[in-house]
């Protein structure tokens, strides 16, 4: 039995009540909460599900669809050019629905290959397809339903440059079936820049959502802040873990620290120099490095932590160091009666197993993965990374007397996994097609006058016994830094200490979702994504990624322009030094907020200076925005000039 999971968490649930429009009889919201099976059977009047009953190919299918939607809509369906992003749980259902609904011009992008764990819910795939690209197999499969459909597949990351503005510009509508925030943010920005409508969808267990985004008319994907990942206080992770999740967070940071690019926002960045020592030699022996890292982290560092008397009490005893040889002797596995029905990965290993597993994972990184050292980052789907994190977290749990975990449980927690439900994906994909029809019919009209809605799938706690809940589309948030004011504030602890590369990576990429941002101050480029690390080439270009913000002449209140050409997105940043920025809440050293004018003024005025200060700030802000607009225009003119020169 394989584990089948997905992590499609994407949006907070609505607060309920206001904002939800009432359902009309016969529309998609007319379901009752009897069961999910009944849900699919009862009240289904949608085009999608009607078309799905027609398993047979081409003409008969087309005739059935035409009979349901009428000639005019059918012509619209047949000519619409669609881009589907993602061919996983929702994407497979979506592609099948689209071709059975008569759509013929479809391109699909997916970066992944088929894993055996996908087969229980991604019904276009079979065991023989394992390891083949999802986009290619999905396109082949749905073409069998409708051989007259023109389906083009792309095996690649939608963030790659070939899927930029020009590519997106070819389509009438983009339909997302993704599972992660970064890719969604990226496609959102591309669609805004290319002025193409976007259908956004996601599911988490029994919850799902579909919504419509059209520039200037509806909220974009980033108009509302997304629930951010839970942040644990730095000292809990670094010194006083109490729960397995604290140790797993530590281990994920450790993996990135050991095998990823330099990152000052890593919670264990203070260990970087020591870890680099283990990697310093040209031909590091992986096993040896593993044992030395083991001794450093689980024995020596723990001894030091145990000596910090202030941290420990009777309720919280100091951690116990673990030496490698002793760990190898501890071969007993904690087992229960229930264990006999479990898979091996569902059982907790012995401490010896964890110690050997840790060293083996390090050895693999230095063996078959050697050329990826310095470029890797933790993924729950990467077996070597997951082995490393599971064993490292368990060894730390042993240090701190916290109950260790099976690999299964470690993977669930480390990947924030909520099991995928195939029915939810099917419902969400069906709703996407319904909304797609509304969007196509709204071309040239105001979105407000269309039937397009955000629709929530809520189970097992539906609102007023309705599992499907439509709500009106919201107008854009004027303060949104992506589609609205385009100005954000970043507070940082120290301009003196913060390097420009840390700002670009930790804050502008990590928190603001930029893909490859270039940073400008006073019209000059101070960070170029082509030269993200210090080196001779960067220096030749007059760039110094390792310089601090004060070395670049920035002061509290300075204005920066961020340009992300790949995303067709730009933003103005006002930076502000806040030495008291809470270290626990903002371990990366940055706090980002949008530019809600009133709030800014209140904070500044509230700091004591009264109305005068408020006026002063308003004037400063006006000037800052004018400067920003001017600088952006100057940069654009410069870019245009460059383009002409190159073309010549």
Task: Give the integer Cα–Cα distance in Å for 648 and 646.
Answer: 5
Closest CB to Zn ion among 11 and 364?
11
Residue 157 interacts with ligand ATP (CB under 6 A)? yes
Q: State the minimum distance, in angstroms, from the CB of residue 114 to ligand ATP.
A: 8
Which among 99-107, 214-222, 290-298, 342-350 is the span making contact with Zn ion, rule CB under 5 A?
Answer: 214-222
Question: CA-to-CA distance for 292 and 285, rounded, in angstroms?
Answer: 11
Burial 239-264 (b: 16+ CB within 10 A, else e): bbbeebbbbbbbbbbbbbbbbbebbb
Q: Quick one: 481 or 552, whose CB is closer to Zn ion? A: 481
> According to CB under 5 A, which residues from 477 to 506 bind Zn ion?
480, 482-483
237 binds, among Zn ion, ligand ATP, none (CB under 5 to 8 A by kind): none
Decide if 358 contacts 391 (C-beta within 8 A). yes
**Number of Cβ within a 10 Å radius of residue 117:** 16
Q: Which of 5, 421, 543, 573 binds ligand ATP (CB under 6 A)?
A: 5
Q: Residues 36, 52, 94, 109: which binds ligand ATP (CB under 6 A)?
A: 109
Say whether 408 sits in a helix, a strand or coil: helix
SS (HEC) of 351-392? HHHHHHHHHHHHHHHHCCCHHHCCCCCCCCCCHHHHHHHHHH
Give the residue closest to ligand ATP by C-beta.
88
Marked catalytic residue, from 54, 92, 191, 235:
235
Q: Is 473 in the site for Zn ion (CB under 5 A)?
A: no
Contact range with ligand ATP by CB under 6 A, out of 4-12, 211-219, 299-307, 369-377: 4-12
Instruction: Count the residues of the shown chain that bind Zn ion, applying the rule CB under 5 A.
Output: 6
Binding partner of residue 220 among ligand ATP, Zn ion, none, CB cut-off 5 to 8 Å per kind: Zn ion
Q: How far is the CB of 429 from ligand ATP (least distance, A)?
A: 11
Contacts of 492 (CB under 8 A, 6+ apart): 498, 503, 507, 549, 575, 576, 577, 578, 581, 589, 590, 591
Q: Segment contacting ligand ATP (CB under 6 A): 5-13, 66-74, 340-348, 632-640?
A: 5-13
What minimum distance in Å lies between the beta carbon of 210 and ligand ATP?
A: 14
**Do β-strands 569-577 and 559-564 pair in parallel, antiparallel, or remain unpaired?**
antiparallel
Beta strands 173-176 and 81-85: pairing type?
parallel
Among 166, 11, 110, 32, which Cα is nearest to 467's?
32
Give which of 362, 128, 410 is closest to 243, Cα–Cα: 410
Shortest CA distance to 323 belongs to which of 341, 347, 346, 301? 301
Tell me the closest approach of the beta carbon of residue 452 to ligand ATP, in angstroms.
23
User: How far is C-alpha 245 from the chain's CA centre?
Assistant: 20
Binding of residue 87 to ligand ATP (CB under 6 A): yes
Binding-site partner at residue 158 among ligand ATP, Zn ion, none, CB < 5 to 8 Å by type: ligand ATP
- Residue 460: alpha-carbon gap to chain centroid: 26
Q: Which of 238, 261, 258 is nearest to 249 (CA)?
A: 238
With CB under 6 A as the contact rule, the residue among 107, 110, 256, 262 that binds ligand ATP is 110
Whether 54 sits among the annotated catalytic residues: the reply is no
Q: Which among ligand ATP, Zn ion, none contacts residue 157 (Cβ within 5 to 8 A by kind)?
A: ligand ATP
Interaction between residue 576 and ligand ATP (CB under 6 A)? no
Tell me the closest approach of the beta carbon of residue 413 to ligand ATP, in angstroms.
15
Q: Would you call 124 exposed, middle or buried from its count of C-beta atoms within 10 A (0-12, 13-18, 19+)?
A: buried
For 447, the 3-state DSSP assignment is helix
The contact pattern for ligand ATP, residues 413-452, with x = CB under 6 A and - = no contact, is: -------x--------------------------------
Considering CB distances under 5 to 8 angstroms, the limit depending on partner class, which of ligand ATP, Zn ion, none binds residue 506? none
Q: Is 338 exposed, middle or buried (0-12, 13-18, 19+ CB in 10 A)?
A: exposed
The binding track of 358-397 with respect to ligand ATP, each residue x by CB under 6 A or -, is -----------------------x----------------
Of ligand ATP, Zn ion, none, which one does residue 112 interact with (CB within 5 to 8 Å by kind)?
ligand ATP
Among 65, 151, 201, 223, binds Zn ion (CB under 5 A): 223
Token readout for 540 is: 């030749």
The rounded distance, in Å, linking the Cα atoms of 377 and 397 is 22
Q: Which does 89 bind (CB under 5 to 8 A by kind): ligand ATP, Zn ion, none?
A: ligand ATP
Binding site for ligand ATP (CB under 6 A): 5-8, 86-89, 91, 109-112, 117-118, 134, 157-159, 178-180, 183, 381, 420
Q: Which residues sit at the interface with Zn ion, rule CB under 5 A?
A: 220, 222-223, 480, 482-483
| Residues that are catalytic | 235
């Amino acid at each position: 039995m394989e584990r089948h999971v997905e992590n499609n968490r994407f949006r907070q649930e609505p607060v309920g009540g206001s904002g939800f429009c009432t359902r009309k009889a016969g529309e998609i919201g007319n379901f009752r909460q009897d069961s999910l099976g009944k849900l699919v059977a009862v009240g289904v009047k949608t085009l999608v599900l009607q078309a799905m009953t027609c398993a047979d190919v081409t003409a008969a299918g087309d005739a059935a669809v035409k009979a349901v939607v009428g000639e005019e809509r059918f012509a619209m369906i047949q000519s619409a050019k669609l881009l589907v992003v993602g061919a996983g749980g929702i994407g497979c259902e979506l592609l099948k629905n689209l071709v059975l609904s008569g759509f013929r011009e479809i391109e699909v992008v997916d970066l992944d290959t088929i894993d055996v764990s996908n087969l229980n819910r991604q019904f276009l795939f079979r065991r023989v397809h394992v390891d083949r690209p999802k986009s290619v197999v999905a396109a082949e499969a749905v073409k069998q339903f409708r051989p007259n459909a023109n389906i083009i597949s792309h095996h690649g990351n939608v963030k790659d440059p070939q899927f930029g503005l020009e590519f997106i510009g070819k389509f009438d509508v983009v339909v997302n079936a993704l599972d992660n925030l970064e890719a969604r943010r990226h496609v959102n920005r591309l669609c805004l820049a290319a002025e193409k409508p976007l259908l956004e969808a996601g599911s988490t267990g029994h919850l799902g959502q579909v919504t419509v985004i059209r520039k200037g008319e509806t909220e974009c994907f980033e108009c509302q802040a997304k629930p951010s990942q839970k942040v644990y206080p730095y000292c809990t992770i670094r010194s006083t873990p109490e729960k397995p999740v604290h140790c797993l967070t530590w281990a994920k940071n450790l993996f990135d620290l050991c095998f990823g690019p330099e990152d000052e926002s890593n919670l264990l960045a203070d260990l970087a120099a020591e870890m680099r020592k283990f990697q310093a030699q040209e031909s590091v022996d992986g096993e040896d490095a593993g044992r030395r890292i083991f001794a450093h982290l689980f024995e020596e560092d723990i001894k030091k932590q145990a000596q910090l008397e202030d941290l420990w009490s009777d309720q919280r005893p100091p951690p116990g160091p673990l030496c490698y040889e002793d760990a190898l002797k501890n071969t007993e596995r904690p087992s229960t009666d229930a264990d006999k029905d479990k898979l091996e990965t569902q059982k907790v290993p012995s401490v010896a197993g964890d110690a050997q597993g840790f060293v083996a994972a390090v050895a693999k990184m230095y063996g078959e993965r050697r050329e990826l050292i310095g470029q890797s980052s933790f993924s729950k789907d990467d077996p070597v990374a997951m082995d490393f994190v599971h064993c490292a977290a368990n060894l730390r749990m042993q240090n701190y007397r916290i109950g260790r975990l099976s690999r299964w449980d470690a993977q669930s927690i480390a990947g924030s996994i909520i099991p995928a439900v195939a029915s939810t994906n099917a419902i969400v994909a069906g709703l996407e097609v319904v909304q797609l029809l509304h969007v196509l019919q709204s071309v040239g009209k105001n979105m407000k006058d269309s039937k397009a809605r955000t629709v929530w799938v809520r189970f097992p706690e539906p609102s007023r016994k309705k599992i499907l809940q439509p709500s009106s589309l919201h107008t854009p948030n004027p303060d949104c830094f992506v589609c609205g004011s385009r100005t954000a504030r970043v507070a940082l602890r120290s301009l003196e200490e913060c390097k420009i590369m840390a700002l670009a990576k930790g804050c502008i990429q990590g928190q603001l979702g930029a893909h490859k941002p270039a940073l400008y101050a006073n019209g000059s480029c101070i960070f170029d994504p082509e030269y993200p690390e210090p080196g001779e080439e960067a220096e030749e270009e007059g760039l110094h990624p390792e310089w601090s913000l004060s070395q670049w002449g920035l002061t509290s209140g300075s204005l920066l322009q961020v340009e992300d050409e790949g995303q067709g997105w730009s933003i103005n940043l006002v930076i502000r030094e806040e030495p008291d920025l809470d270290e626990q809440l903002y371990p990366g050293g940055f706090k980002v907020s949008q530019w809600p004018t009133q709030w800014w003024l209140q904070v500044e005025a509230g700091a004591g200076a009264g109305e005068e200060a408020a006026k002063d700030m308003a004037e400063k802000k006006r000037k800052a925005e004018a400067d920003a607009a001017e600088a952006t225009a100057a940069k654009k003119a410069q870019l245009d000039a460059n383009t002409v020169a190159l073309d010549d």
